[in-house]
Amino acid sequence: MMMIDDIETLVRCESPSDDRDAVARSADLVAEVGIRLLGVPPERIVLDGRTHLRWRFGETPRVLVLGHHDTVWPIGSLVAHPFEVRDGVLRGPGCFDMKTGVVMAMHAIAALDDRDGVSLLVTGDEEIGSVTSRELIEDEARDCAAVLVLEASADGGAVKTERKGTSLYDVRIEGRAAHAGLEPESGVNAAIEVAHQILAVAELGDEAMGTTVTPTVSAAGTTTNTVAASGHFFVDVRVRTSAEQERVDRAMHALTPVLDDARITIEGGPNRSPLQATASADLYARITKLATQLGIEPPGHAAVGGGSDGNFTAGIGVPTLDGLGAVGGGAHADDEHVLVAELAQRTELVGALVRDVLQSVATDALVQGR
């Protein structure tokens, strides 16, 4: 099966997001596969040393098919997690998230009789927050009727109709050093202030609203006999609504010290807006209808906590459907895998959805022109 060969090509080229050279090598292979399938080379876009690829068919993008070729797996992961296909299960670092989705996107577009209006964007820094590609993604999506994200599916092949928005913070504390044995009272203990602030931040979550505010990595102090002069901790925030994201952001920036003479600096803020159900409802209805017409079991739908580049496109008001890629599981984990039996039908369904949106755009244009 040619699709499996193409997936193997990409998986065997390790591409951790923080290794710019590795991502560039991966981009070379993605481009080679795309040229063979799509017949034309991509535009190679390098931003701050990070490599992104874009294929445009026609003058004006109307459907953006979106994916990424970077992974969380460090160089050398293939030794312990080699590419293999056994008993209908494909394995290898990054196969599920999301090199299989990239291959599916190319095969789906290649099967179209008319590609006019299709844009395929494959970025190289999604796993680290799309630090250079966000503006590129939003600009490409802005005039589109739909964005189809080929990220891996949710459990059981469900597409992702909702994603939580994300915010990231670094809370920095400045205290005052002193000898821990001779005169600890002369110091301002940043470690204690960090503890106070962690407890305060943890209270900002709201279970009923689906809002999680989670202190993660923390550190303070330098030596065991010195009152800590500085410290910091990171905070991961996940929200279902923009209102909750704004509430937490205001609260984070309103944090005040508990200890006299301690100082707090808050860095960071919202990273991805929520992908809410309203952004995906029409596209989910379309794919359900198309699946039935093709004799394919319609995919379920799921709301998930993880973010993707689909959050960006939904955030600027473009209809977005996510999780259209590989069916399997184990993203970022030892058990990362793809179910081979789902590849062909899933790819056919993606192609049908692209075609359906393009036809709707053409029909609308014809009606408006009358």
Q: Which run of H or E residues covers position 271? A: strand 263-272
Name residue, tokens 């006999």.
225
Pick from 287, 358, 351: which is nearest to 106 by CA?
351
Q: Residue 65 is encoded by which pair of tokens? A: 């098919």
Q: Which run of H or E residues covers position 364? A: helix 343-369
Q: Which run of H or E residues covers position 37? A: helix 20-38
CA distance 39 to 28: 15
Look up residue 71 and give its DSSP letter: B
Active site residues: 70, 126
CA distance 67 to 149: 6
Pick from 172, 254, 176, 248: which is nearest to 210 by CA?
248
Name residue, tokens 């005039």.
143
Q: Tell me the three state secondary structure of residue 47.
A: strand
Contact 24, 106 (CB under 8 A): no
CA angle 158, 308, 293 (to 5 degrees): 35
Q: Residue 85 is encoded by which pair of tokens? A: 């296909």
